[in-house]
Amino acid sequence: MTHVMACIDGSPSAAAVCDYATWASQRLQAPLTLLHVVDRSEFPQPGDLSGNIGLGSREHLLDELASLDAKRAKIAREQGQLMLDAARERAIATGALDPKTRQRHGNLVETLYDLEPDIRLLVIGKRGEDSLKPGQLVGSQLESTIRSMHRPILVTPREYQAPRSAMMAFDGSPTASKGVEMLAASPLLRGLPVHLVMVGRDQHVDKESLERAAGQLAAAGLEVHTAMLAGEVEPILHAYQAQHKIDLLAMGAYGHSRIREFLVGSTTSSMLRTTSTPLLMLR
């Protein structure tokens, strides 16, 4: 069975990740798994250093280095388990049913790639504990995670607020149309007003595409509002979201051809950096 999987670390956004994952798990009626990854580059497993130049004869130093690495890795695992236990208690307190915890030692992106078959929705903070430098708006591994995953990803801000409305940025591309199909088939946004917003140039072609997408969502029982706007994509989307007090933004993730140019070079990466609400990346 696929799970809602939440990436838990020591960052200030970990509580919000836990809360959004619990919210999503309840709406999807999917089991919740809380995941912590001990980064092996920060806490390497003890290895054989005997072949290193200048160290081979210094057995006492090798022993001390290996012992230090082992202690650091053990402390990191114990600390991670404490975070997972606290997250589990928080999830249960907010309505999660028997959430599971998992701890892995390795690279986050590689770990998520390995676990992808078990993931229905990945929930991850916009900035992790390794990305707390002033001016760093997006976690160092977040964009790599989004690019490598083929599952929807909910990127959370630092504070939790239960979504009461949603907006999908729609550009008429195959990737965006696939995202509409995913939303129509999912109970995640059922019962919430969904604003389908298009910022385009060809009014006639774009209007037809927008109306088809709106029809799909409406046929699935969603309350749909449409808007076709002109101007620079990012500020227009932000302005519309602020005007209508929309709590959650959905858009296509990194793709190919036109959508790749549209998103990778500008809109998705920029929205990822600047939005203050959760961002649902659809693949």
Q: What percent of the chain has pLDDT over 90?
A: 52
Asked if residue 206 lies in contact with residue 172, where contact means CB atoms within 8 angstroms, the answer is yes
Q: Is 66 exposed, middle or buried (0-12, 13-18, 19+ CB in 10 A)?
A: middle
pTM of the model: 0.84
Q: Compute φ and ψ for 33, nearest 5 degrees.
A: -125, 130
Instruction: Report the chain's C-alpha Rg in angstroms.
Output: 21
Strands (E), 12-79: 32-38
| Superfamily of segment(s) 3-42+76-156 | HUPs (3.40.50.620)
Contacts of 70 (CB under 8 A, 6+ apart): 46
Note the pLDDT of residue 148: 85
**Would the pLDDT of 127 be above 90?**
no
pLDDT band, residue 261 (cuts 50/70/90): very low
The most confident of 12-21, 134-143, 198-207, by mean pLDDT = 12-21
Report the candidate in 170, 161, 158, 177 with the shortest Cα–Cα distance to residue 194: 170
Domain boundaries, the chain: 3-42+76-156, 166-282
Note the pLDDT of residue 182: 94
**Would the pLDDT of 42 be above 60?**
no
pLDDT, average across residues 224-247: 91
Q: At what angle do helices 233-243 and 267-274 cross, to 10 degrees?
A: 40
121 - beta bridge partners?
4
pLDDT band, residue 111 (cuts 50/70/90): very high
Q: How far apart are CA 113 and CA 102, in angstroms?
A: 15
**Are domains 3-42+76-156 and 166-282 of this chain identical in fold?**
yes
**Would the pLDDT of 33 be above 80?**
yes
Contacts of 216 (CB under 8 A, 6+ apart): 180, 181, 184
CATH architecture classification, 166-282:
3-Layer(aba) Sandwich (3.40)
